[in-house]
Structure 1
Amino acid sequence: MLTRPLSIFGAWEITPVQHRDARGVFLEWYRADRLSSAIDDTFVLAQANISVSAAGVVRGIHYTDVPPGQAKYVTCVQGRVLDVVVDLRVGSPTFGRCEVVPLDDVERRAVYISEGLGHGFCALTENATITYLCSSAYDPAHEREVHPLDPRLEIPWPLASPQLSARDARAISLTDALSAGLLPVAAKCRNGLPTETGRIRRTDDA
């Protein structure tokens, strides 16, 4: 398993080693010990989700209030998607930056997304199936979104007019979310700011 930090601090790309023979393929798509070593933190698994999307669907950009915060470990088990990470953490040196990672059922890469980061994806094939491991359980009171087509985010979506949910279509812009005080603060997020030791401790850590 190869772990590579992305340009947004607190996000990593994970490429598993695949073992193939005449029977098929075997791989370790998640290893808690190796992920913890890479991120210098512990990912606590609280919930696992599956999302199936038609080609041309865009989901996101979603994030969770901090606290409580929610980190995610995302991979594509069927089809192909363009996965997107957006830094929504106020005070982060990469605030507003996005990075895209192709995920598919061939390379079987995964993306780890620290709390405070926004996440979304575009389904490039029919029945594109994503699995999410989440560090906290879903709580609608703390779930928020930024409009995926906001020009300020400069996300290179491969479609001019993607299919959005009603929730995502009515989402506000990054500028409006910032003005309303709805975005996470980097200093309150795990892996929110780069330091000599790799991460900053959240202000409510013991």
Structure 2
Amino acid sequence: MIKATETKLKGCFVLEPIIHEDERGYFFESYNHKDFCEAIGQEITFVQDNISLSKKGVLRGLHFQTGEHAQAKLVFVLKGRIQDVVVDLRKDSPTFGQYLSIELNDVNKKQVFVPKGFAHGFLTLSESAQVFYKCDNYYNKESEDGIRYDDGVLDIKWRANSKDFMLSEKDKELPFLN
């Protein structure tokens, strides 16, 4: 069982598992296909799982895939803390260009479902963070794209000073939304 809350970005959900704790520790289902699909109101089949390990200050994103290779993602933190950011890029959406920012960590165990048509990125807040995400489409290098983390139109309120960010060379070269 999970609790699903749709965000201001239609189709984007924050999911919270039911955690069973006692003196031994805890147990929860991190993913149950039937419960997940019921919670978000659509059938999603994930085909690829990814894990990244990032040091404090690493900013990954904002990434997405285009066309037939677009991906929906379910993002979860196994260890550490991140500021997770999702940007609505659906041009026909009333929330086009708006973003969701949420802390995901290994204590709150929240997950974010990122639908197709959104960019996704995160900033590592702890000394390191291990991020796990499921994708409903396979990675395709020719379809990868992104937008700058510091795009003035988006005006994302990152939870650290940008001078301390560690970015890949590719992410430094991403275009602005406009």
* Range of TM-score over shorter length: over 0.9
Matches within 5 A, 1:79-98: 79-98=80-99
Equivalent residue for 1:61? 62
- 1:24 lines up with 2:37 in the alignment: no
Equivalent residue for 2:177? 174
Q: What root-mean-square deviation, in Å, do the aligned CA atoms of Structure 1 and Structure 2 show?
A: 0.9
Q: Aligned pair count?
A: 175
Distance 1:39 1:108 in 2: 18
Equivalent residue for 1:52? 53
Runs of at least 5 residues in structure 1 that lack an aligned partner in the other structure: 176-206
- 1:136 lines up with 2:119 in the alignment: no
Q: Is the 8 A contact 1:86 1:118 kept in 2?
A: yes
Distance 1:143 1:58 in 2: 17
Aligned partner letter, 1:145: G
- 1:113 lines up with 2:99 in the alignment: no
Aligned partner letter, 2:29: E
Identity %: 36
Equivalent residue for 1:165? 168
Q: Is the 8 A contact 1:10 1:39 kept in 2?
A: yes
Q: Is the 8 A contact 1:8 1:94 kept in 2?
A: yes
Distance 2:25 2:177 in 1: 44
Deviation at 1:40, TM superposition (A): 2.1
Distance 1:42 1:167 in 2: 33
Distance 2:33 2:119 in 1: 22
Q: Is the 8 A contact 1:98 1:154 kept in 2?
A: no
Larger strand percent: 2
Map Cα deviations across residues 8-62 of structure 1 (whole Å, 9 max, x no partner): 0110000111111122110111121122112222111110000111001111100
Equivalent residue for 1:71? 72
**SS state at 2:38 partner:** helix
Distance 1:35 1:24 in 2: 24
